[in-house]
Amino acid sequence: MSALPGFVGGALKAKLEHVSRTDLKARAQRISKSYRAGGGSAVIRSDLDALAYAIVRMPATYAAVRAALAQAVDVIPDFAPQSLLDVGSGPGTAAWAACDAWPSLERALLIDENPHLLALAQALQAPLDVSAQRGAIAAALAAAASADIVTASYVLAELPDATLRATLARLWDKARLLVIVEPGTPDGFKRILACRDALIGFGAQIVAPCSHEAGCPLASAERWCHFNARVPRNRDHIVAKDAIVPFEDEKFCYLAAGKGFAPLARGRRVLATPKVDKSAVTLTLCAPDVPVQQRISRRDKDAYRAAKRLDWGDAIAENRSRTS
């Protein structure tokens, strides 16, 4: 479980000090309802709305991005990025997750058209040099310098479909490593798949989650490629969401694509919760065009023990040991 980093959690707590929980809850519910109905972030119209977004959504989007980045780090362990560009940054969620994944990061540029979310991001005492640019992604990117990492977290869904390819080309142009995270829904996967196809066309190396650049095994399956991040809930989160359990599960899709990396040891991604019974562990693994089922018998003691530790979203090396 990835909780928000201390500098974010602490700042949000301080900002909540004089805020009515009833008001916060009402704002949070209005924002969630609007997102569920397919609306974008225009529903966030004040600093208090931005705070409500950060309380109810940021823990989950942070956990999803952090989980995606952990998988990328496993594949490119020597990558030590210094600069980051976070588009549709909102309160800087992906930037803070990247900071945690890569302590080498020194500076970040956040781009967003929402002044309230951007102000919240700037109010956090992040452990790197942060600048912010308010504006539309396309225009802001045209003027932005390239960065070691470009992140776009939960933002493509808010752009018109017709602009997706042009936006992606701009993002790719600026990035050494591009990380896109989307909701773990069929629609989110459709966008990720479109990005994957386009990026492979641009010559990208797919770092994660895919095990190869051939046909996606879930492209025309009934299932879609997505993963789960378990998110711890603090008290304010529980109150704002009227929740009962102290955690929630955030389903997400993602894609990390890079350029100029040495050949990647990606292993094979586990695409579903492993099935464990008395005699074997059965894994559903990413492979070209169709997923493969791999049964690891209990008689194969070391491999069985290693397979039992695997979870949905992990990758195993070709020799069956865990890469993460």
Ligand X SMILES: C[S@@+](CC[C@H](N)C(=O)[O-])C[C@H]1O[C@@H](n2cnc3c(N)ncnc32)[C@H](O)[C@@H]1O
User: 119 φ, ψ to 5°?
Assistant: -65, -40
Question: Beta strands 83-87 and 107-112: pairing type?
Answer: parallel
Interface positions with ligand X (CB under 6 A): 40-41, 58, 61, 88-90, 93-94, 112-114, 117, 136-137, 153-155, 158-159
Minimum Å gap between C-beta 90 and ligand X is 3
Cβ at position 8, least distance to ligand X in Å: 11
Position 172: which residue type?
W
Nearer to ligand X, 79 or 154 (CB): 154
Q: How far is the CB of 64 from ligand X (least distance, A)?
A: 8
Distances (CA, A) of 93 to 13, 27, 140: 16, 20, 19
| DSSP classification of residue 4 | P
Going 269 to 275 to 276 to 279, the CA torsion angle's sign is negative
* Span between the terminal Cα atoms of the chain, in Å: 15
Kindly state the smallest distance separating residue 268's Cβ from ligand X, in Å.
28
Q: How far is the CB of 40 from ligand X (least distance, A)?
A: 6
Residue nearer to ligand X on the CB measure, 49 or 266 = 49
Do 58 and 4 touch, CB atoms closer than 8 A? yes
- By beta-carbon proximity to ligand X, the closer residue of 208 and 315 is 208
Position with the least CB separation from ligand X? 90
> Closer CB to ligand X, residue 119 or residue 280?
119
Q: Shortest Cβ distance from residue 87 to ligand X (Å)?
A: 7
DSSP E strands, 139-291? 147-153, 175-183, 205-208, 227-232, 247-258, 268-269, 275-276, 280-285
Residue number with CB closer to ligand X (43 or 219): 43
Dihedral through CA 94, CA 185, CA 197, CA 217, nearest 10? 120
Spatial separation of the C-alpha atoms in residues 308 and 303, rounded to whole Å = 9
Q: Which is nearer to ligand X, 227 or 316 (CB)?
A: 227
Number of Cβ within 10 Å of residue 323's Cβ equals 17
What distances in angstroms separate CA 204 from CA 124, 151, 175, 196, 208, one per listed residue?
A: 34, 15, 11, 9, 12
- Chain centroid offset of residue 229 CA: 10
Q: Are 177 and 149 in contact (CB under 8 A)?
A: yes
Looking at beta carbons only, is 58 or 225 nearer to ligand X?
Answer: 58
Q: Return the number of the residue (15 or 266) whose C-beta is nearest ligand X.
A: 15
* Structural contact between residues 218 and 290, judged by C-beta atoms closer than 8 angstroms: no
Nearer to ligand X, 254 or 307 (CB): 254
